[in-house]
Structure 1
């Protein structure tokens, strides 16, 4: 009997758990976050002393590193052991714990801000948002940051076309959306420019860390990444070694009621 085809929920689960096997590549190739976006995320609580911040679903510490440039006391929580190990290696002085958005290993009202980079779309909102509210102090802030290639630039739009894999994502269609909830009823949005220096090889490395690529077979993945390299080497804006990749960092924040 043939195996049943994957359901959208199956694909989502596979994508959500796909990053650990490429933790080192994720640390090396994924973009970081602009300081202006991080400051905006923390603005509602910036006057608090000490300012205690949780980097939730911290991955390899891309956002943690930026948070450490503020005056905040930072703790990181990440569910994947390989990603957590990479975070420990990259930022050995940071308190980093195993845990999920639905079960955070911190006490009630223990942090002033929960900041999430590139991950809120993986959360179960009905369980995660009450749990986030539990660890926040009154008036604390939840903020989400997402880096997206700026597809208003024609060559970037072309890159996105050749990077498509056909893997369907059932949750929010890969678009960052944080919906109002009883815990966070009013949301604010802001966009920030974010430029990353890339080569054809490092750009292919970045694409290779995207979950829709990680769940492909080895042959399919190699074919897609070869297509990306070929496109970049044949495109005038990216053909001569290093180039600037224009990103938009989308930020959303809400204050706990």
Structure 2
């Protein structure tokens, strides 16, 4: 239900976003959004929304609980994509809005979640006022912009001392926890991922090891990890992987060749693992981390 204060709140946010974007437009500072992430997610926003999973609710609960946010906290979901994670944040009673740089993702977001304000922006250009946010969430995205310019922008928009930065990712589980078919599919697809930022490489953490970062945030990061699973149709397995940026950029012949390889893996390792509904168990890890602004 939309409260009587929400229309005024949304109008205030929209005005703040407009003023910030106007200041940025008059600035000579260039945006540094990763070109592969931007082009890939503009292309696959609809299939991203269809095939990408949600997030494990107990992990989201744990992350939110650790943030200890005030009632009606002012919260932004940055790099919100199509709203997979934003939809879960609706349950916590936040004054919630979203920021996303991809026009395609924004279009799908606004179709899915028309009641949540969504603005165009990036980790280098968050269209909110200084020191205005109780929390900034980033789901499945921080590895794309793990640099000091982003951390300075986060520091700008978060309230001093009380503002929280929260990061979360779904990830492909370790081999000893994973399904055989799932691990083999991952290896086949990762062969095309040679040079792009990824969570699993964990080098996104490097920026938090710097003295400059320690001046902005309470470090080291606190973190947690859980494992979960969901059901997926065998015919959707390649559809899921085809939303990965390093698969999106392949030409059609390469995609068809990879799809054939994935289909062979499923036939060899998963044909006898489907349940009574014809679905497979897809295992995932979820990693979450948080810190406080200084």
Which residue of 167, 170, 191 maps to 1:144? Answer: 167
Question: Does the CA contact (< 8 Å) of 1:178 and 1:252 recur in 2?
Answer: no
- Over 6 Å off, 4+ runs: none
C-alpha distance in 1 between matches for 2:142 and 2:265: 31
C-alpha distance in 1 between matches for 2:69 and 2:79: 25
Aligned residue runs from structure 1 range 24-103, under 5 A:
24-103=46-125
Which residue of 190, 194, 204 maps to 1:164? Answer: 190
Question: Does the CA contact (< 8 Å) of 1:57 and 1:78 recur in 2?
Answer: yes
- Bigger share in strand: 1
C-alpha distance in 1 between matches for 2:186 and 2:67: 37
**Cα gap change, 1:234 to 1:13, in 2 (>3 Å):** same
What are the superposed Cα offsets for residues 127-165 of structure 1, whole Å, 9 maximum, x if unpaired?
111111111112211111111122322513222122234
After TM superposition, the score normalised by the length of structure 1 is: 0.88
Question: Does the CA contact (< 8 Å) of 1:146 and 1:249 recur in 2?
Answer: yes
Q: Which residue of 2 aligns with 1:254?
A: 291
1:238 is displaced (CA, Å) by 6.2
- Bigger share in helix: 2
C-alpha distance in 2 between matches for 1:194 and 1:133: 32
State the number of aligned residues.
Answer: 246
In the alignment, is residue 200 of structure 1 matched against residue 234 of structure 2?
Answer: yes
C-alpha distance in 1 between matches for 2:48 and 2:96: 21
C-alpha distance in 1 between matches for 2:129 and 2:158: 9
1:37 is displaced (CA, Å) by 2.0
Question: Does the CA contact (< 8 Å) of 1:15 and 1:214 recur in 2?
Answer: no
Give ranges in structure 1 of 5+ residues lacking alignment. 1-11
Q: Which residue of 2 aligns with 1:232?
A: 266
Question: Does the CA contact (< 8 Å) of 1:233 and 1:239 recur in 2?
Answer: no
Question: Does the CA contact (< 8 Å) of 2:67 and 2:290 recur in 1?
Answer: no
1:52 is displaced (CA, Å) by 1.8
Structural RMSD (CA): 1.9
Q: Which residue of 1 aligns with 2:243?
A: 209
1:41 is displaced (CA, Å) by 2.5
**Cα gap change, 1:149 to 1:129, in 2 (>3 Å):** same
SS in 1 for 2:159: strand
C-alpha distance in 2 between matches for 1:197 and 1:35: 16
Q: Which segment is superposed worse, 179-188 or 137-146?
A: 179-188
C-alpha distance in 2 between matches for 1:230 and 1:15: 29
Q: Which residue of 2 aligns with 1:128?
A: 150
In the alignment, is residue 119 of structure 1 matched against residue 146 of structure 2?
Answer: no
**Cα gap change, 1:238 to 1:77, in 2 (>3 Å):** farther
Q: Which residue of 2 aligns with 1:9?
A: none
Question: Does the CA contact (< 8 Å) of 1:165 and 1:212 recur in 2?
Answer: no
Give ranges in structure 2 of 5+ residues lacking alignment. 1-33
1:172 is displaced (CA, Å) by 5.6
1:170 is displaced (CA, Å) by 4.6
In the alignment, is residue 178 of structure 1 matched against residue 194 of structure 2?
Answer: no
Question: Does the CA contact (< 8 Å) of 1:16 and 1:122 recur in 2?
Answer: no
